[in-house]
Amino acid sequence: MKKINIKNGLSASIIALMVLTPAFAFAKENENNRENNRNVVKTSSEVRISNSSENESDEDDGDKENSSNNSSANSSSKKEDKDDNENSNKEHDKANLGMCLKTLRGMTIADILSLNLANTTKLSEICFGKVATTTDTTSDVTAPVINTTITEASTSTIKVTVATNEASKVKVFYSTSAIDSTSSTSHVESVGFLTTTVLTLTNLTPNTTYNLVVEVKDQSGNTKTGNNFTAKTTALLTPAPVISNVTASTGSTTIGLSWLTSQLATSKVFVSTTSPVDTSTTSTSFIENLSLVTNHVLTIPGLVANTIYNMVIQSKDAIGNIVNSIEFHVATTPAV
């Protein structure tokens, strides 16, 4: 996995030096080339002047004087052309350097820290007209590692915190059923690439278990999908139902019960010949109706005549709040 650890202004300075060093070298090379050209022009001029003097040695003094004047004029003209070229090159270099400094001044530290090969070569072109020769031959083919996944839940939200070992974008898929494929599953996702991302699922149902799957993708496009895990929203903070107006009607083998609750709730009665009645175990007999109502009626069949039964009424509302009545006793009538 490729990692680039750059810190504060020192890193920015290092990057700037990396960008400008080949460019300054190129500028120096241009200056050396221009110096060499000046030497070549000077040498060529001396050779031509020497040859001209030898050829004209047999001519009369008037011709020598004219030739000398012409040679001096040509040399002066070439010197002026050379000076003009040097001045033009200097002005060009000044303009490039000015543009370079203006570009650097317009860059923030974040801009410099984010330099890659493309804008490094572009900056080199702006500064000195030469493309930097540095190439990045590394290739990131390793998917991010999902280090931690932590959930926090409320009655209608689940907050998911995802930490990865490199900057990544994050998606969190969620469903009340098992997630076999993420293609059509509801999800939330992050905007930027971070090593720690917090996403919140909203508009969820209270007291409900959700299946979650995290998917992360780094800046090179490598993707990693985590395993399915679950998180549950909390129940609404509302009062449990209140049981009232309990009445019983008896027969030799049946007992009928009715009662009221302060809100919609289920109906359940635990029945035992021993006391206390244990409502926490499945071994205790019970009868129930899961319909949500406020007026409750249940009939307990198959009882023994002339026997005392211990009972506890239980009702549960829509969000899971449970209320139990106090234990009470009802006796069946003697057999006829």
Given a contact cutoff of 8 angstroms between Cβ atoms, the answer to whether 261 and 294 are in contact is yes
Specify if 262 maps to a domain: yes
Specify if 3 maps to a domain: no
Specify if 238 maps to a domain: no
Q: What are the b/e assignments for 226-251, b being 16+ CB within 10 Å?
A: eeeeebebbeeeeebbebeeeebebe
Is the per-residue pLDDT at 118 higher than 60? no
The verdict on 225 and 252 lying in the same domain is no
- Residue 327: which domain range? 243-331
Averaged confidence pLDDT in the chain: 76
The verdict on 200 and 97 lying in the same domain is no
Angle at Cα 133 formed by Cα 131 and Cα 136, nearest 5°? 120
96 closest CA partner among 144, 63, 128: 128
Is the per-residue pLDDT at 202 higher than 80? yes
Specify if 33 maps to a domain: yes
Q: What is the pLDDT of residue 3?
A: 43
Specify if 312 maps to a domain: yes
CA separation for the pair 331, 336 (Å, rounded): 15
Radius of gyration of the chain (CA): 46
CA separation for the pair 312, 29 (Å, rounded): 98
The verdict on 285 and 192 lying in the same domain is no
The verdict on 175 and 210 lying in the same domain is yes
The verdict on 68 and 173 lying in the same domain is no
The verdict on 218 and 265 lying in the same domain is no
The verdict on 18 and 117 lying in the same domain is yes
pLDDT band at 90 (very low <50, low <70, confident <90, very high): low
174 closest CA partner among 194, 201, 206, 196: 201
Q: What is the pLDDT of residue 310?
A: 97
Helices (H), the chain: 8-55, 61-105, 109-113, 117-128
The structure's pTM equals 0.38
Given a contact cutoff of 8 angstroms between Cβ atoms, the answer to whether 4 and 140 are in contact is no
Specify if 1 maps to a domain: no
pLDDT digits (tens, 9 = 90+) for 5-15: 444 444 445 45
CA separation for the pair 93, 29 (Å, rounded): 13
The verdict on 261 and 281 lying in the same domain is yes
Name the domain boundary from 232, 264, 299. Answer: 232
Tell me the CATH number at 173: 2.60.40.10
Specify if 237 maps to a domain: no
CA separation for the pair 204, 206 (Å, rounded): 7
pLDDT digits (tens, 9 = 90+) for 155-201: 899 999 999 999 999 999 999 998 887 777 899 999 999 999 999 99
The verdict on 30 and 122 lying in the same domain is yes
The verdict on 268 and 167 lying in the same domain is no
Q: What is the pLDDT of residue 324?
A: 96
Name the domain boundary from 232, 255, 276. Answer: 232
CA separation for the pair 121, 19 (Å, rounded): 8
The verdict on 116 and 17 lying in the same domain is yes
Total domains present in the chain: 3
Please give the residue that has the higher pLDDT: either 124 or 205: 205
Q: What is the pLDDT of residue 159?
A: 95
Percent of the chain beyond pLDDT 90?
47
CA separation for the pair 126, 91 (Å, rounded): 15
pLDDT digits (tens, 9 = 90+) for 294-314: 999 999 999 999 999 999 999
The verdict on 160 and 118 lying in the same domain is no
Specify if 134 maps to a domain: no
CA separation for the pair 317, 48 (Å, rounded): 112
